[in-house]
Amino acid sequence: MGTPRNPFKPTAGARPPLLVGRDEIREDFAESIENGAGAPGLLSIYSGARGIGETVMLGEIEDEAIHHGWIVISETATEGLVRRIYSAIRKHKAELLDGPAGRRITGVKLGPLEVAAELAPTEDIHWRTILTELLQKLDENGTGLLITVDEIHGIDRGELAEIATVVQHMIREELPIGMAFAGLPKAVEDLLNEGVTTFLRRAEKYDLNTAPIQEVANAFRETFGDSGVEAGEEKIQQLAEATGGYPFLIQLVGYYVWSQASKSNYVVTDEALAAGLEKARRRMGTTVVQSAYQSLSDIDRSYILAMAEDNGPSRTSVVAQRLGVSQVYGGQYRLRLLAQGIIKTVAHGYVDFAVPTLREFLREQPAYNAVLHDPLPEN
**Cα distances (Å, whole numbers) of residue 184 to 123, 145, 348, 357, 371:** 34, 25, 23, 19, 28
Does 55 bind Mg ion (CB under 5 A)? Our answer is: yes
Does 54 bind ligand ATP (CB under 6 A)? Our answer is: yes
Residues 6+ apart with CB under 8 A from 361: 285, 289, 290, 293
Does 51 bind ligand ATP (CB under 6 A)? Our answer is: yes
Indicate the residue among 14 and 97 with the shorter CB distance to ligand ATP. Answer: 14
Amino acid (one-letter) located at 330: G
* Residue least distant from ligand ATP (Cβ): 53
Does 47 bind ligand ATP (CB under 6 A)? Our answer is: no
Among 46-54, 262-270, 314-322, 362-370, the segment contacting ligand ATP (CB under 6 A): 46-54
Q: What CA–CA distance (Å, rounded) separates 123 from 2?
A: 53
Indicate the residue among 245 and 330 with the shorter CB distance to Mg ion. Answer: 245
Among 56, 36, 25, 20, residue whose Cα is nearest residue 148: 56
Indicate the residue among 139 and 151 with the shorter CB distance to ligand ATP. Answer: 151
Among 20-28, 231-239, 321-329, 349-357, the segment contacting ligand ATP (CB under 6 A): 20-28
Q: Is 167 left (phi over 0), alpha (psi -120 to 50) or beta?
A: alpha
Does 344 bind ligand ATP (CB under 6 A)? Our answer is: no
Q: What CA–CA distance (Å, rounded) separates 290 from 298?
A: 14
Q: What CA–CA distance (Å, rounded) separates 219 from 234?
A: 14
Indicate the residue among 248 and 361 with the shorter CB distance to ligand ATP. Answer: 248
- Minimum distance from CB of 183 to Mg ion (Å)? 8
Q: What CA–CA distance (Å, rounded) separates 335 from 356?
A: 19
For the CA atoms of the chain, what is the radius of gyration?
25
Selection from Mg ion, ligand ATP, none that 14 binds (CB < 5 to 8 A by kind) is ligand ATP
Indicate the residue among 127 and 206 with the shorter CB distance to ligand ATP. Answer: 206
| Interacting residues toward ligand ATP by CB under 6 A | 9-14, 16, 19-22, 48, 50-56, 247-248, 250-251
| Interacting residues toward Mg ion by CB under 5 A | 54-55
